[in-house]
Amino acid sequence: MSNKKVTFEDIARYTNFSKTTISRYFNNPDSLTLKNQEIIAQALIDLNYKENKVAKILANGKSEFVGVIVPNLYLHYYSEMLNQILSSYEKFGYKFLVFAGNANEAIERRYIQELLAYNIEGMIMLSHTIPSQELSSYHIPIVTIEREDQYTCSVNTDNYMGGMQAAGLLYKNNCDILIHINVRVSENVPAYGRIKGFVDACTEHDLPYELLLEDLGNTYEANKKVIQQLAENLDKKYKGKRKGLFLANDTYANMMLNCLVRMYGSLPDDYRIIGFDNSPISSEAVIPTSTIGQQIDKIADAAMEILVDQMNERKKRRPLLLNEPIHKVITPVLISRETTKRTP
């Protein structure tokens, strides 16, 4: 096998087409007949042609690259979202340049500048650090997921409905008091809807409720300590009452469950627990835990659909750019496991 590089000239000579025709095959194949496309495709195999994608980017500006920035890969929500985004390769062919920001804003900005220098065609943004107004100034298609999104297209879970679903399930479990445990969430991020949905559902059904919006700390051990203290307080304060606990995510729900199981050897009947996310810990818990499932596959699909539409539009001679950003919400799914029961 020869190592000599096969050029457009070699392909032209082999097929008796002009070099212009060969170039058109690579940059605008549909301008050739199907038959001629096949002849050239066969020649590439016969000649053992190695495609140079880099030259192609320079020729037509289409890198087929999409940048993806996640805050971290520690949380299952982000690693699963990334998994679903990457798997769109089979459908769309885009290759993903991936970065985990880990809250280092300066390096994230530098990384984005590099991506732009590589002619990426679009970007999916899960990291929270850079405001959507700044993102929109890059003038490439961008879709954000579950973060502030005033100036960018976005796909988010319907957090409000999730909060309503959680309160509704606890209501059907005949709880005497409903308690939502969360951190203070800013009103302009989608997750704020969980709190609002919970409160509105309680108000609607005229249910007694309590909001515990606490600083839960920044490490796993700190979270655990605060939640242990909350568990002991609630156990005393609402003795004899059936307590319906809605925790902001499955990690917190698992901490609460573990406290109670360690106190009582099992989950007492006067407790009901529901988390949020349907992350693995909810089914791996000592008692499989009810949760509001985010449809991560659907969110990733919707984000790629919006992005691909925008990227395709820019390949047209006269692209029609969006007048205002598209915002899509995906319905969450109530998953009832052993920590809640259907009413008899």
What single string gives the DSSP state of each residue in 82-109?
A: HHHHHTTHHHH--EEEEEE-TT-HHHHH
Point out which residues bind a second copy (CB under 8 A): 50-55, 57-58, 63, 72-74, 79-80, 82-83, 86-87, 89-90, 95-100, 102, 104, 107, 111, 114-119, 220, 251, 254-255, 257-258, 261-262, 265-266, 280-281, 283-287
The residue among 107 and 322 lying less far from a second copy, judged by its C-beta, is: 107
Query: Smallest distance from the beta carbon of 49 to a second copy, in angstroms?
Result: 10
The C-alpha atoms of residue 319 and residue 121 are separated, in whole angstroms, by 14
The residue among 146 and 250 lying less far from a second copy, judged by its C-beta, is: 250
Strand order in the sheet with 209-213: 209-213, 177-182, 243-247, 271-277, 290-293, 333-335
The residue among 314 and 327 lying less far from a second copy, judged by its C-beta, is: 314
CB neighbour list of residue 295: distance below 8 Å, 6 or more residues apart: 157, 330, 331, 332, 333
Residue 182 sits at φ, ψ, to 5 deg, of: -155, 175
Query: Smallest distance from the beta carbon of 188 to a second copy, in angstroms?
Result: 28
Query: Smallest distance from the beta carbon of 46 to a second copy, in angstroms?
Result: 17
The residue among 74 and 309 lying less far from a second copy, judged by its C-beta, is: 74
Query: Smallest distance from the beta carbon of 270 to a second copy, in angstroms?
Result: 17
How buried is 258 (Cβ within 10 angstroms: 0-12 exposed, 13-18 middle, 19+ buried)? middle
| Gyration radius (Cα) of the chain, Å | 26
The residue among 175 and 300 lying less far from a second copy, judged by its C-beta, is: 300
The residue among 73 and 183 lying less far from a second copy, judged by its C-beta, is: 73
Query: Smallest distance from the beta carbon of 207 to a second copy, in angstroms?
Result: 30
Query: Smallest distance from the beta carbon of 265 to a second copy, in angstroms?
Result: 3
Phi-psi region of 5 (alpha: psi -120 to 50; beta: other; left: phi over 0): beta
